[in-house]
Structure 1
């Protein structure tokens, strides 16, 4: 976070500090149940009051679907009545380098009495972090964010003339790349690397591993930063899981590790070079994978992205450094150190709410530890090339590629639903049903086009 804003001050002092630096408004942002960023901008003059009391938002926001239809499928939020309050999380406050005059903060949500709002995804994640702490565990998390760059009219960008993973693709948009790296640094978002990806004019940005709530906050701020840098340099960005038919989609690969007493449990002398508890954490995520991905990659576009051979995690298995596996175990080693070991979830993308995505991953992993699960042997092959008999022998099943199967996987999993809580699950399921109804009869091209600029 930029050092020149001391968020330990009172809200009035923070507002004065913002105004003194020419900032006229603060964007307060949150993710909805479709991974879409919703926001309010408040003036600097009103910031101190909003920091204490929040700004009112209609209670039906948890049941907005991807296409801004307000579904009545969840009875508790089926009427146009009610309100909740959105307050800035002061420690996330960041003046925006790419949007001079504006600052940004992640949101927390309360009801009008100041009590927790049941549909606050940030609070859902916080509960899982606290559950881990009660067991003496901490979680670290980071995202790899893939995105596609277009010309302002949505046509090909200059980067398309470069080969996959090439330096030329970056050179063609180097003004944008330079500004983006600078803006991320000024905005306080630490990254590991940026590179051209496999798809046409596709890039990947890796966020540094931090605590889970900060990881989700950083993803939210990184989106804002990328959008602004692209616009400034005459480009347009899409994070949609699928941006073109028959082209690799954009994943937001979710990396987590589990620690006890500053020791990474995903590195050790136990099964497959993990500590026993670390292996159980991986086994827990693997056990609940069909329900987990209903939250981490929930949209109709997510279902299109989930194809064998595209490193999107089409089958439910794990492997050591296997990029076709839905769960990829990344080892440490002598060069990188034990702290580098983590497990990567491939079926994860920008249509997920990252607070909910992290919550269900952590919840599944903690359940695996509690149940002392043993992880099966890893698979090093591309199982898409196996016969059905071979996959059946190893217990490998295809993950859902239709909305009804994905919804059923979540509905049938008590553990993952418990992480969400009944009210959050009810709204989330209603939104997914609304999206599925919208998609009926739509062609692949129509689904791709409808999601392209949602993200």
Structure 2
């Protein structure tokens, strides 16, 4: 960072400090997401925010090697006691937290002491993916669906709502709670599209408006932490784990993604499946092709594979379909007449144990590989792939996605496209952290895994 940029940041941070102080903020939480999908933080008093924004706040790089249960992995590039990084807040995303009075939040970029972006910084990774899109005159819009379960007891899980799936009874049980969630998100300038009860006991879902990829990842972190805070104020605890109770229906983290060029949505107005253009089709085909490896990033916990089973609408087959909720990649056209605005693709196999920045970056890198390779989608699947015989799935090219974290990690490690895009240090550390979690749960039952990770995410 040169002197001009440092001076600019100092002026902007001074302006923000005055605003924050006027709104009763006494501290700013500086937040990043580690390789296990856990949000980590350091915080500064508001009086020190200008200094933090200009020179950064020190933090060990050891967090790159944390597992979800806070075990530190002795990895190839991370995990030791030596070294320091500087956390620099994104001044455009500073947000006063309605549900945590006195506090503001800011996502951070992590730099070395020499001023270089840390090679394992996830926001920097996503920025590189967005830059790659721009090289082909493309932009993207994205949004995460946030599913969560509320509970009343942290040891023996008791759902915080008992009404029927998608039922208004459940809505009535927690109407005040949900109203507070909506109010907090509105006050934090998060645009909510819809909120509703979900299938599992005590489960809800909120959908937010699409943004640029970096904004979408930031917003997903902010939404989850807001829900967590509102839940605690209501005497509840929120779980975003892929599997809260073994044998149940877990929490997904579906991603909606659309590709644009010069303000035109490339998922409509074309001659491809469901009206997508050639570029959008190639992008979707790239995502589909690299899904086995991508799961090590987008479904990266042992609990993820308790969710990714046939018949649970988790889409565990490598297939694409039109509005097919058991296809890993779902093509969505939107309502007739609104296709140019709302058409997109949904990737359904992802969950919220993922680092959202790495998750979106992997989708963009995979999609752009598909564009540059000129890939085409296979035949769309219009049934639940689990209902097809093995012979029919083989004929249609439908494969079962990895059924374990081991399989997904092996696929990622062998995937030259994604590991090259992530860089050697980050790719190796992701593998090291996944292998540690695999060893941690080698002899665990499904119940053990669900209980151990219930409150980790």
Q: In which range does the TM-score fall when normalised by the shorter chain?
A: over 0.9
For residues 215-268 of structure 1, give each alpha carbon's deviation from its aligned partner in whole angstroms, at most 9, with x where no partner exists.
000011111110111111111110000001111100010110001111111112
CA distance in 1, matches of 2:355, 2:421: 14
Aligned to 1:149: 150
CA distance in 1, matches of 2:160, 2:199: 15
CA shift, 1:356, in A, is: 0.4
Counterparts in 2 of 1:264-283, with a 5 A limit? 264-272=265-273, 273-283=275-285
| Partners of 1:407 and 1:429 within 8 A in 2 | yes
CA shift, 1:157, in A, is: 3.7
| Partners of 1:258 and 1:266 within 8 A in 2 | yes
Aligned to 1:429: 431
CA shift, 1:332, in A, is: 3.0
For residues 116-140 of structure 1, give each alpha carbon's deviation from its aligned partner in whole angstroms, at most 9, with x where no partner exists.
1111000000001011011000000
Aligned to 2:252: 251
| Partners of 2:228 and 2:237 within 8 A in 1 | yes
CA distance in 2, matches of 1:184, 1:53: 30
CA distance in 2, matches of 1:117, 1:346: 30
Aligned to 1:3: none
Relative to the length of structure 1, the TM-score reads 0.96
Counterparts in 2 of 1:63-74, with a 5 A limit? 63-74=65-76
What is the number of equivalent residue pairs in this alignment?
Answer: 447
CA distance in 1, matches of 2:184, 2:337: 31
Where structure 2 has 5 or more consecutive residues not aligned to the other structure, the ranges are 1-8
| Partners of 1:98 and 1:229 within 8 A in 2 | yes
Aligned to 2:3: none
Aligned to 2:6: none
CA shift, 1:413, in A, is: 1.1
| Partners of 1:152 and 1:234 within 8 A in 2 | no
CA distance in 2, matches of 1:16, 1:402: 50
Aligned to 2:293: 291
Aligned to 2:346: 344
CA shift, 1:300, in A, is: 0.3
| Partners of 2:159 and 2:201 within 8 A in 1 | no
| Partners of 1:60 and 1:80 within 8 A in 2 | yes
| Partners of 1:175 and 1:233 within 8 A in 2 | no
1:49 aligns to 2:51 (yes or no)? yes
Aligned to 1:110: 111
Closer/same/farther in 2, CA of residues 44 and 242 from structure 1, 3 Å limit: same
Aligned to 1:234: 235
Secondary structure of the residue aligned to 2:381 is coil
State the Cα RMSD in Å: 1.4
CA distance in 2, matches of 1:10, 1:268: 42
Closer/same/farther in 2, CA of residues 454 and 158 from structure 1, 3 Å limit: closer
Secondary structure of the residue aligned to 2:369 is helix
Relative to the length of structure 2, the TM-score reads 0.95
| Partners of 2:63 and 2:79 within 8 A in 1 | no
Where structure 1 has 5 or more consecutive residues not aligned to the other structure, the ranges are 1-6
CA shift, 1:421, in A, is: 1.1
| Partners of 2:282 and 2:375 within 8 A in 1 | yes
Aligned to 1:22: 24
